[in-house]
Amino acid sequence: MGELQPDAIAQSLEAFEQLAELQQSCNPTLPQMSGKELHWGWTRHAQHEPRGLWGMYDQGRLIAAASACPQWWRTPAESVVMTLDVHPHWRGRGLGSTLIRHIEHHYRDSAMRKIATMVAHGEQDDDAFWLRRGFRIQGRFHQSGFDLSKPLDEVHRLRNKQIHEDGFEIIDGDELRQRFPRVWRRRWWRLWSEAEQDMPGPEPPNPRPFDVFVQILERPGLDLSLCHFCLHNDEITGFTSLIPYGLSPQFAAIWMTGVARGLRRKGIATAVKVASLDAAKRRGLSWVITENEQTNPTHTLNVALGFTPRYTRLWMVNNRSAA
């Protein structure tokens, strides 16, 4: 068994394809991103330095991996964000602890004094693993899913009809780009930023700059026909977006939903989500997955639409030191 240094694994798309397979082995019931998506996230998105990515192999097979980088969505970054995956057959042998020590050593001279990670909740041993290492729960995110084989309640379609009668229009992202070829990204970003500022969570909001948002739109698998927008007088008043999982193409994730201040609780979020679910069903998808922080009112909306609980993830932070 050996270890690869960060630069070696980060240069290789094949390594990320193995990482995607490892993550699927660790969470076989959860939809997973493809190696191409993971590679894009690492090479194009998580670019803050210093960062590190480590793999542990047995006979050429990736059996454990960890990544760490400063928070790419915050300026300046306040925490190191890490992931950790250990194949089920290799747990209990100290691999995870070894990788965490690598991360701590990598950031020994960093000014950032926190390490944070997202952990699937439910396995008592997994929770205890992180708690023993000084991590504490700072947020809970509930995932729910919509089974596209089931029909939407007719009351939601009636609300969509009312939205149209009130002068609002629902279009997809392809049409948005055609109508506003020069400014569609910036208009979307303005409402996205406004929605992010009001989104509850374990950390204060910190909307991302326009150039970072544009990078996000280059994500593999992003299909504008699965993104829907509510317009009024050619202004975006609401949106939602779906992204299929590369390794689990029958699933799509709701990336984000937002509605302009002053127009919330008027059925706009429901209208764009209904349009999005209809598009996903026409595409032949089976499930639409979403995740919300436990105090986010969007969670209540999703339940009303017919989303059912799947699992909970914990945002866990070690406040002692990243050194």
Structure tokens at 5: 């240094």
Residues 155 and 236 in one domain: yes
Q: What is the CATH classification number for the domain harbouring 264?
A: 3.40.630.30
Q: What pLDDT does residue 323 have?
A: 44
Beta bridge partners of 3: 56
In this model, does residue 168 exceed pLDDT 70?
yes
**Identity of the highest mean pLDDT range in 178-182, 247-251, 312-316:** 178-182
Q: What pLDDT does residue 107 have?
A: 84
In this model, does residue 124 exceed pLDDT 60?
no
Q: Which residue has the higher pLDDT, 300 or 8?
A: 300
Judged by DSSP in three states, 302 sits in: helix
Q: Which residue has the higher pLDDT, 240 or 127?
A: 240
pLDDT band at residue 11, thresholds of 50, 70 and 90? Answer: low
C-alpha span between 209 and 199 (Å, rounded): 16
**Cα 303 to Cα 9, 14, 46, distances in angstroms:** 41, 39, 32
Report pLDDT digits (tens) over 49-96. 778 888 899 988 999 999 888 876 666 667 889 999 999 999 999 999
Residues 268 and 162 in one domain: yes
The mean pLDDT value for 25-37 works out to 90
User: Within a domain: residue 300?
Assistant: yes
Residues 303 and 166 in one domain: yes
User: Within a domain: residue 128?
Assistant: no
User: Within a domain: residue 159?
Assistant: yes
**22, 85 contact by CB (below 8 A):** yes
Report pLDDT digits (tens) over 131-157. 999 999 999 999 999 999 999 888 788
Question: 23, 31, 100, 8: which is closest to 63 by C-alpha?
Answer: 23
The range of the structural domain enclosing residue 257 comes to 144-311
Residues 164 and 204 in one domain: yes
pTM of the model: 0.90
**102, 91 contact by CB (below 8 A):** no
| DSSP structure string for 48-81 | -SS-EEEEEEETTEEEEEEEEEE-TTSSS--SEE
**258, 241 contact by CB (below 8 A):** no
- Structural domains counted in the chain: 2
Structure tokens at 182: 């020069």
Q: What is the DSSP letter of 308?
A: E
User: Within a domain: residue 200?
Assistant: yes
Residues 106 and 161 in one domain: no
Average pLDDT, the chain: 88
